[in-house]
Amino acid sequence: MNKLIIGNWKANKSLTQAQAWLAVVSNSVDKLDLTKVTPILAPAFSLLGTVAPVITKLGWRLAVQDVSPFPAGSYTGAVSVVNLQDLPITYVLVGHSERRQYFKETPQEIAQKAELALEAGITPIVCVSEQTLTAQVSAFNSSLTERCIIAYEPLEAIGTGKNASLEIVKEFQSKVKSLFGSVPFLYGGSVDELNVGEYLLVTDGVLVGTASLKAEQFINLLQTAQGDQPAVT
> In the complex with ligand PGA, which residue's Cβ is closer, 84 or 211?
211
Closest approach, Cβ 125 to ligand PGA, in A, equals 10
Among 3, 4, 8, 13, binds ligand PGA (CB under 6 A): 8
Among 105, 109, 153, 193, binds ligand PGA (CB under 6 A): 153
Stretch that binds ligand PGA, among 14-22, 30-38, 141-149, 206-214 (CB under 6 A): 206-214
Q: What is the spatial distance between Cα 129 and Cα 188, in angstroms, rounded to a whole number?
A: 10
Residue 26 neighbours by CB distance under 10 Å: 13
> In the complex with ligand PGA, which residue's Cβ is closer, 83 or 214?
214
Stretch that binds ligand PGA, among 132-140, 168-176, 209-217, 220-228 (CB under 6 A): 209-217
Among 158, 176, 196, 225, binds ligand PGA (CB under 6 A): 158
Per CB under 6 A, 207 contacts ligand PGA: yes
Ramachandran sector of residue 90 (left: φ over 0; alpha: ψ -120 to 50; beta: rest): alpha
> In the complex with ligand PGA, which residue's Cβ is closer, 95 or 107?
95
> In the complex with ligand PGA, which residue's Cβ is closer, 76 or 205?
205
Decide the pairing of beta strands 37-42 and 3-8: parallel
Among 64, 116, 139, 208, binds ligand PGA (CB under 6 A): 208
Among 210, 216, 217, 230, binds ligand PGA (CB under 6 A): 210
Per CB under 6 A, 133 contacts ligand PGA: no
Q: What is the spatial distance between Cα 91 and Cα 61, in angstroms, rounded to a whole number?
A: 8
Please identify every residue annotated as catalytic. 96, 153
Among 49, 88, 121, 159, binds ligand PGA (CB under 6 A): 159
Per CB under 6 A, 129 contacts ligand PGA: no
Closest approach, Cβ 152 to ligand PGA, in A, equals 10
Binding site for ligand PGA (CB under 6 A): 8, 153, 158-159, 188-191, 207-211
